[in-house]
């Protein structure tokens, strides 16, 4: 809205001194590393200057600005991909460090791999490397201190939740960490807080997409989970009567749009057409109806309804299928595992920092003393002592801001003597050795780390295209505008962020949800940089490029404009009310999953993730990529499999 005075930089508050310390610090860390040539951790051979993670004030969850794949975390990987990383470099500096196991990737998969390995080999010495300045991988924590109170949000992995039940292995790990999702949900979720204040879900219709800016609260069940009639809700929207009638037909109608076909044939056809095509060509709705539903699938799958099968959308409880009388049974994407179909979802629970709590509990167990406390409640407010993560005396060491650039079997991969791993930290490249290695890192990078892998395996790994997405955390001075408007969460089909909501109200340990609208709060916003019209994979590639080239200022302006326009009726002033912004950008986000629209059903041994994850000498491959499912249970299961492969040697 460039010519709208309300959208001028001044009105939006672009010049305001919000907290974006990390935006500067993220670069400062990288620059400091470059200039200082720091060596690793507090190991005996380290130089006098401590590495940032050893500094007493090191606290990455509190950093704001551009986070997720932050500056300094990915550049070496891109140079490796482009073939110019090693040009003109001296051989890696040998640290002399030797471990039983090196794990690349301190996400939930890598941390779980260390857990499983130590379970089998209690005296094992393990080094965990990660390219980010914090551990957790996608399971990152955003921490704010607002008005004297701790406020938390997930910077990535939102919650314990999977379309499949957690396996005995993944569920067993949660249990070992003291997490009982069912008991926690019953005791800690405060789902009734916002409804008790009269706040509901709303849809924001923007003028660019729907002809007028309008916020309409009270979107009905079942999709939005609230009462009220569709007719009453739609009557308040700027949609034309024909479009409203079509949406009502899709939502509550019981029309069989595929008469005369069996459930099996219907399902087969639905699995090979997008939901968008189903709406437009089979249910024959007005094109504006497709715009209304376009972004419904983006949170779950990172792409819109043009790139997801209608059958998956049926499995995801999207509307429009009631009259088809489809037999109960699996929908492909929701329940597909490399081994076949599994039905039924998992238990769910959202910790205030999402699954970062799982990562923090794993670190507490692996590095005694680093995360104070005793259970999954006190860990929520515990402050990590990062200085303890990489101590020479520790049996498990976690080395941050250290990107693996090489993993090599020593000797013939058929019977290696061990593994040599090189990692870049600052301007230096360092070498460590181990008996074995688990690559729990993003699988598409493995061919660059292990160029001597068999060509078919490298080709399979090159096929991994992760889904880009952005989780933004915005700190607000108060939430009186939400309160006045009677809104707690908003879907914005035409918005830069396609949804946002007040922080999840969870009381756990010493952490209590904010209850008073005149107090500060965090807002969670989701953006998926989709490019409708392309295949899912092409959309993901284009979205990734977009995220890597979008400066923080663009995100900030869009956030201010969107919140300002959406909440204007409640008196929201973006210049006054926004006090801090953290943009967690994930150019390499969700693990790629099987998509019925573009991919054939293949036998297990021909699936790219299965070919790609084969053990290579003493190097085993974990990460959720290896299981082709973007969920925490998958990350844990894959860690268990990878460790099992090494222990069987
Ligand atoms: C925004 C977002 C929301 C999500 N929400 C959920 C959710 O609600 N529930 C759920 O179950 N799942 C969710 N997921 C999926 C999530 O990916 C998995 O649940 C899980 O956290 C993945 O763990 P991982 O260890 O396999 O991978 P990651 O978390 O990606 O960890 C891998 C780590 O390895 C690092 N790495 C990569 N290459 C190298 C290298 N060469 N050297 C050193 N380190 C390297 C990466 O940077 C990363 O830190 C979400 C994902 C995203 C992006």
If you write DSSP's letter for every residue of 355-399 in order, what string do you get? THHHHHHHHHHHSTTSS--SSTTGGGTPPP-GGGTT-TT-SEEEE
Check pocket membership of 301 for ligand 1, CB cut-off 6 A: no
| Closest ligand 1 atom, residue 630 Cα | 15
Residue 545 in domain: yes
The two tokens of residue 510 are 């010493």
* pLDDT recorded at residue 21: 43
Judged against a pLDDT cut of 70, whether residue 26 lies above it is answered with: no
Residue among 108, 29, 121, 136 at smallest CA distance from 626: 108
For a substitution probing ligand 1, which of 163, 540, 630 has the most ligand atoms within 8 Å of its CB? 630
**Percent of the chain at pLDDT above 90?**
83
Q: Is the same domain home to 146 and 134?
A: no
Average pLDDT of the segment spanning 429-434: 97
| Closest ligand 1 atom, residue 470 Cα | 1
What pLDDT digit, counting tens, does each position of 100-110 carry? 999 999 999 99
What pLDDT digit, counting tens, does each position of 347-372 carry? 999 999 999 999 999 999 999 999 99
* pLDDT recorded at residue 333: 63
* pLDDT recorded at residue 223: 53
∠ CA 315-277-534 to the nearest 5 degrees?
95
How far is 410 from 615, CA to CA, in rounded Å? Answer: 15
Model confidence band, residue 29 (pLDDT cutoffs 50, 70, 90): very low
Model confidence band, residue 373 (pLDDT cutoffs 50, 70, 90): very high
Judged against a pLDDT cut of 50, whether residue 150 lies above it is answered with: yes
C-beta of residue 587 within 8 angstroms of C-beta of residue 544: yes
Model confidence band, residue 28 (pLDDT cutoffs 50, 70, 90): very low
* pLDDT recorded at residue 225: 54
Check pocket membership of 130 for ligand 1, CB cut-off 6 A: yes
Could you check whether the bond before residue 552 is cis, i.e. omega within 30 degrees of 0? no
For a substitution probing ligand 1, which of 70, 80, 81, 105 has the most ligand atoms within 8 Å of its CB? 105
Q: Nearest C-alpha to atom 39 of ligand 1 is from which residue?
A: 441
Check pocket membership of 609 for ligand 1, CB cut-off 6 A: no
| Number of domains forming the structure of the chain | 3
The 10 Å CB-count burial string (b at 16+, else e) for 259-283 is eeeeeeebbebbbebbbbbbbbebb
Average pLDDT of the segment spanning 187-212: 94
Q: Is the same domain home to 13 and 158?
A: yes
The two tokens of residue 199 are 């706040």
CATH of the domain at 363: 3.50.50.60
CATH of the domain at 483: 3.90.660
Check pocket membership of 167 for ligand 1, CB cut-off 6 A: no
Residue 34 in domain: no
Residue 392 in domain: yes
The two tokens of residue 644 are 């099992």
Q: Is the same domain home to 388 and 455?
A: yes
| Closest ligand 1 atom, residue 110 Cα | 25
Secondary structure of residue 66 in the 3-state scheme: strand
Judged against a pLDDT cut of 90, whether residue 416 lies above it is answered with: yes
Check pocket membership of 469 for ligand 1, CB cut-off 6 A: yes
Residue 385 in domain: yes
Average pLDDT of the segment spanning 527-536: 96
What pLDDT digit, counting tens, does each position of 459-483 carry? 999 999 999 999 999 999 999 999 9
| Closest ligand 1 atom, residue 423 Cα | 42
CA–centroid distance, 627 to ligand 1, in Å, is 12
Residues 6+ apart with CB under 8 A from 46: 38, 39, 40
Q: Is the same domain home to 471 and 581?
A: yes
Higher per-residue pLDDT: 18 or 271:
271
Residue 485 in domain: yes
Judged against a pLDDT cut of 50, whether residue 22 lies above it is answered with: no
**Maximum separation of any 2 CA atoms in the chain, in Å:** 78
Residues 6+ apart with CB under 8 A from 429: 89, 90, 92, 93, 405, 422, 423
Q: Is the same domain home to 583 and 471?
A: yes
* pLDDT recorded at residue 226: 60
Name the DSSP class of 61: G
Look up the domain containing 337 and give its range. Answer: 222-341
| Closest ligand 1 atom, residue 112 Cα | 25
Check pocket membership of 115 for ligand 1, CB cut-off 6 A: no
Judged against a pLDDT cut of 80, whether residue 47 lies above it is answered with: no
C-beta of residue 516 within 8 angstroms of C-beta of residue 479: no
Check pocket membership of 445 for ligand 1, CB cut-off 6 A: yes
Model confidence band, residue 161 (pLDDT cutoffs 50, 70, 90): very high
CA–centroid distance, 119 to ligand 1, in Å, is 23
**Whole-angstrom Cα Rg for the chain:** 25
How far is 586 from 616, CA to CA, in rounded Å? Answer: 28
**Percent of the chain at pLDDT above 70?**
91
Check pocket membership of 302 for ligand 1, CB cut-off 6 A: no
Check pocket membership of 129 for ligand 1, CB cut-off 6 A: yes
Q: Is the same domain home to 490 and 546?
A: yes
Q: What's the mean per-residue pLDDT of the chain? A: 91
Judged against a pLDDT cut of 50, whether residue 45 lies above it is answered with: no
Average pLDDT of the segment spanning 517-533: 97
CA–centroid distance, 204 to ligand 1, in Å, is 31
How far is 159 from 143, CA to CA, in rounded Å? Answer: 16
Average pLDDT of the segment spanning 116-137: 98
Q: Is the same domain home to 409 and 393?
A: yes
Dihedral (Cα; 484, 487, 489, 495), 10-degree rounding: -80
pTM of the entire structure?
0.94
Residue 170 in domain: no
Residue 64 in domain: no
Check pocket membership of 233 for ligand 1, CB cut-off 6 A: no
Judged against a pLDDT cut of 50, whether residue 532 lies above it is answered with: yes
Residue 328 in domain: yes
Judged against a pLDDT cut of 60, whether residue 339 lies above it is answered with: no
Check pocket membership of 132 for ligand 1, CB cut-off 6 A: yes
Check pocket membership of 159 for ligand 1, CB cut-off 6 A: yes
Q: Nearest C-alpha to atom 3 of ligand 1 is from which residue?
A: 157
Judged against a pLDDT cut of 90, whether residue 33 lies above it is answered with: no
Q: Is the same domain home to 356 and 372?
A: yes
Check pocket membership of 567 for ligand 1, CB cut-off 6 A: no
Give the range among 86-90, 336-340, 544-548, 635-639 with minimum mean pLDDT. 336-340
Q: Is the same domain home to 557 and 478?
A: yes
- Among 341, 362, 396, the domain boundary falls at 341
Q: Is the same domain home to 83 and 188?
A: no
Secondary structure of residue 457 in the 3-state scheme: helix
CA–centroid distance, 410 to ligand 1, in Å, is 29
Q: Is the same domain home to 500 and 551?
A: yes
Q: Is the same domain home to 244 and 318?
A: yes
CA–centroid distance, 256 to ligand 1, in Å, is 41
Higher per-residue pLDDT: 330 or 295:
295
Judged against a pLDDT cut of 70, whether residue 20 lies above it is answered with: no
Residue 407 CB neighbour total at 10 angstroms: 25
- Among 319, 341, 363, the domain boundary falls at 341
């Amino acid at each position: 809205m460039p010519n709208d005075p309300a959208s001028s930089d001044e009105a939006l508050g672009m010049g305001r001194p919000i907290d974006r310390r990390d935006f500067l610090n993220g670069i400062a860390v990288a620059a400091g590393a470059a200039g200082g040539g720091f060596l690793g951790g507090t190991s005996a051979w380290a130089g006098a200057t401590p590495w940032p993670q050893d500094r007493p004030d090191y606290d990455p969850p509190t950093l704001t600005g551009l986070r997720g794949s932050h500056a300094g975390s990915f550049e070496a990987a891109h140079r490796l991909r482009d073939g110019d990383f090693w040009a003109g470099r001296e051989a890696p500096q040998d640290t002399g460090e030797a471990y039983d196991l090196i794990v690349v990737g301190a996400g939930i998969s890598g941390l779980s791999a260390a857990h499983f390995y130590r379970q089998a080999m209690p005296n094992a010495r393990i080094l965990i490397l990660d390219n980010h300045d914090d551990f957790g991988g996608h399971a990152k924590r955003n921490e704010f201190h607002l008005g004297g109170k701790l406020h938390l949000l997930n910077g990535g992995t939102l919650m314990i939740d999977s379309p499949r039940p957690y396996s005995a292995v993944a569920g067993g790990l949660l249990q070992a960490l003291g997490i009982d999702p069912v008991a926690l949900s019953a005791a800690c979720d405060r789902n009734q807080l916002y409804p008790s204040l009269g706040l509901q879900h709303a849809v924001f219709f923007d003028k660019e997409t729907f002809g007028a800016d309008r916020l309409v609260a009270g979107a009905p069940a079942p999709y939005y989970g609230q009462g009220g009639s569709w007719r009453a809700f739609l009557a308040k929207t700027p949609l034309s009567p024909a479009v409203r009638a079509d949406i009502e037909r899709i939502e509550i109608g019981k029309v069989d749009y595929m008469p005369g076909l069996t459930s099996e044939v219907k399902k087969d056809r639905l699995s090979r057409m997008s939901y968008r095509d189903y709406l437009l060509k089979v249910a024959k709705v007005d094109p504006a109806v497709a715009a209304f539903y376009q972004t419904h699938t983006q949170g779950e799958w990172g792409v819109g309804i043009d790139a997801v099968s209608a059958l998956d959308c049926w499995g995801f409880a999207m509307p429009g299928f009631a009259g088809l009388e489809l037999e109960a049974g699996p929908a492909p994407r929701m329940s597909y595992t490399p081994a076949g179909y599994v039905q039924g979802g998992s238990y769910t629970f959202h910790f205030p920092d999402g699954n970062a709590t799982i990562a923090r509990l794993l670190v507490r167990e692996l590095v005694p003393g680093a995360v104070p406390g005793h259970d999954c409640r006190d860990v929520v407010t515990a402050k990590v002592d990062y200085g303890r993560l990489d101590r020479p005396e520790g049996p498990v060491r976690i080395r941050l801001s250290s990107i693996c650039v090489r993993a090599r079997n020593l000797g013939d991969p058929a019977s290696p003597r061990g593994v040599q791993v090189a990692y870049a930290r600052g301007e230096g490249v360092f070498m460590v050795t181990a008996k074995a290695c688990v690559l729990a890192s993003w699988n598409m990078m493995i061919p660059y780390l292990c160029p001597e892998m068999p060509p078919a395996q490298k080709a399979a790994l090159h096929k991994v295209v992760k889904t880009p997405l952005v989780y933004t955390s915005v700190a607000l001075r108060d939430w009186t505008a939400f309160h006045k408007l009677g809104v707690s969460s908003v879907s914005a089909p035409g918005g830069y962020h396609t949804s946002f909501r007040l922080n999840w109200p969870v009381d756990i340990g010493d952490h209590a949800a904010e209850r008073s609208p005149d107090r500060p709060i965090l807002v969670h916003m989701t953006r998926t940089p989709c490019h409708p019209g392309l295949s899912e994979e092409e959309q993901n590639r284009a979205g990734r490029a977009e995220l890597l080239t979008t400066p923080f200022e663009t995100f900030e302006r869009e956030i201010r404009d969107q919140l300002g326009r959406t909440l204007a009726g409640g008196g929201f002033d973006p210049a006054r009310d926004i006090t801090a912004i953290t943009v967690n950008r994930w150019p390499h986000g969700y693990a790629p999953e099987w998509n019925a629209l573009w991919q054939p059903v293949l036998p297990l041994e021909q699936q790219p993730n299965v070919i790609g994850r084969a053990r290579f000498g003493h190097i085993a491959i974990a990460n959720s990529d290896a299981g082709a499912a973007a969920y925490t249970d998958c990350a844990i299961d894959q860690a268990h499999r990878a460790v099992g492969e090494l222990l069987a040697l």
